[in-house]
Amino acid sequence: MINIIPMPSEYKINDGFFTGFENLTLKSDFDLPLLKCPRGENSRLIIIKESSFDAEEYTLDIDKDRIEIKASSKTGAYYALQSLRQLCRAELGENKAPCCHIKDKPVFKWRGLQLDESRHFFGKDGVKRFLDHMFMMKLNVFHWHLTDDQGWRIEIKKYPLLTEKGSVREYTQINGWHSSELVNERYEGFYTQDDIREIVEYACERGIMIVPEIDFPAHCASAIAAYPWLACKELFREVPGYFGGLIPERKLNIKDWNRPICPGKDRTVEFIFDVIDEVCDLFPAPYFHIGGDEAPKDEWKKCPCCQQRIKENNLKNEEDLQGWLNNQILAHIKDKGKSLIGWNEILKAGNLDKSIIGQYWTPQRDKNAERFVNNGGRLIMSNHHSFYFDMTYAQYPLKNTYDYKPEDFGVNKDNIKNVLGVEGENWTEWIDSLDMLDCRLHPRMEALAEVAWTPEVKRNWSSFLSRLEGFKPYYEYLGINYAVDSVSMPKGIIKRANIQKKFFKGDTHLELKLNKKYKAQGEK
């Protein structure tokens, strides 16, 4: 067995070891600024450009006297170096790598990880740290959730109130979905456009594409708080700090708390296009994520503008009105060379353009999503049971992530080709610190990486656990507060049920506390 995560697609271990990393010099056909290694003609680390390889493919050959890497791109070369990094463990003081041959490339082109910064904000350093960890695991898509009800986190110059007002809330719900407790503290933060450019460049250097998500038509309370005319009815409300319907309905007596923007107003559609224009100028990725999930239609049914839009365009109903809006947005971004992504609820619309990409997340099986992908539509798989990393390990243990197969969610074998890839989601209603993010994310990120990279026939749970054990010193070296085995692979039905109960009402940080306790007792 070779001690790398994710497991390479092909490898052979030979006798002996390469040593002498302390004095290693490099000769490379690529400019690799992230590699801090002296250059020299008589080098023992050779990187050769091999144009016939796929963009992320590489070979790594290690013998006792030299290391040779072949790749067609800088990204492929960096991936080979990440494999070498894990093999030689130089940062951990070991400084030797087994002689071997590795030929490697990913199963899926889309190997993603999402971070929600609307609910809790981590800042530039936190995001760069997140990207560094993705890079080590050969994950290549950072899905950046920048707007939602509880905060607008990206500067839009044409609409300054989006950050002046929409990025600030005066209170935040705590202690779980079924709790009505609030902390009355101001919470704020956003990224300037210069911040965004800096992070995009940082990601690009590491072969990571950033896909922005700007939610329309639902999850827009922070935008509506800044510009009330965006909604069907102009109601002046502050940016909410609650994360569901319990507090507004029972404590604040607000029944229509989940309000979308109004697609019937030309002014609203113009606003969407203006925002998209500025966002697309910041992100070179050929994708734009529109969200589109959990969009209530009650206001649209009563709105004269929405009903007029339905009539003028011969739409069947309000679902098709959302489909009409998504098609307008798609047409707008197509001119910028981009494709539109939306959560799988958008696939309910009967008039939706078939080129739109769905992202399948729902806990319940969705026949619309499954029909879509099996009839040629493109999907990204983020199924709740395996890839919702904000959930407790008590609900979704580590093995849920590792055992993932698209076929278990209705994708026929012949249509796996229509799956762009897989992605883990980090929603942050209850993730309020880097420590909490680390604990929820690791070792799930490593399991996700193997699902995304390694052929299914080469994946093995026992092997993964063994390699994960060997990787744990890297968690310590990198300062990652990973979940120990007793947390990430919990045993006992009653114990697990109790943790889940407390997560929903009482103590969303229970697993974090247990993790600290077990580490203090010496568990790894």
Q: How many CB atoms lie within 10 A of CB 489?
A: 14
Whether residue 322 contacts residue 340, with contact meaning beta carbons closer than 8 Å, is answered with no
Q: How far does Cα 312 stand from its chain's mean position?
A: 38
Q: Quick check: is 219 catalytic?
A: yes
Give the whole-angstrom CA distance, residue 381 versus residue 461. Answer: 21
Task: Supply the DSSP string of 25-75, one letter for each residue.
Answer: -EEESS--TT----B-SS-SEEEEE-TTS-TT-EEEEE-SS-EEEEESSHH
Give the whole-angstrom CA distance, residue 495 versus residue 500. Answer: 9
Nearest to 56 by CA among 210, 201, 208, 199: 208
Q: Quick check: is 294 catalytic?
A: yes
Q: How much is the CA Rg of the chain, to the nearest whole Å? A: 24
* From 57, 148, 299, 318, active-site residue: 148
Question: How far apart, in Å, are the Cα atoms of 495 and each of 384, 393, 394, 487, 521?
Answer: 22, 11, 8, 11, 19
Residue with tokens 């707007």: 147
* From 238, 294, 407, 408, active-site residue: 294
Nearest to 118 by CA among 157, 172, 183: 172
Give the whole-angstrom CA distance, residue 141 versus residue 108. Answer: 11
Which of the 8 DSSP states describes residue 408?
G
The two three-digit tokens of residue 372, written as one number:
């879509």
Give the whole-angstrom CA distance, residue 383 versus residue 519. Answer: 30
Q: Quick check: is 266 catalytic?
A: no
Give the whole-angstrom CA distance, residue 122 versus residue 134. Answer: 16
Give the whole-angstrom CA distance, residue 209 versus residue 131. Answer: 10
* From 219, 332, 442, 509, active-site residue: 219
Please state the φ and ψ torsions of residue 339, each to the nearest 5 degrees. Answer: -105, 155
70: CB partners within 8 A, 6+ apart: 47, 48, 49, 50, 53, 58, 59
The two three-digit tokens of residue 182, written as one number:
């609030």
Pairing type for strands 58-62 and 26-28 reads unpaired
Nearest to 217 by CA among 158, 262, 271, 153: 262
Catalytic residues: 148, 219, 294
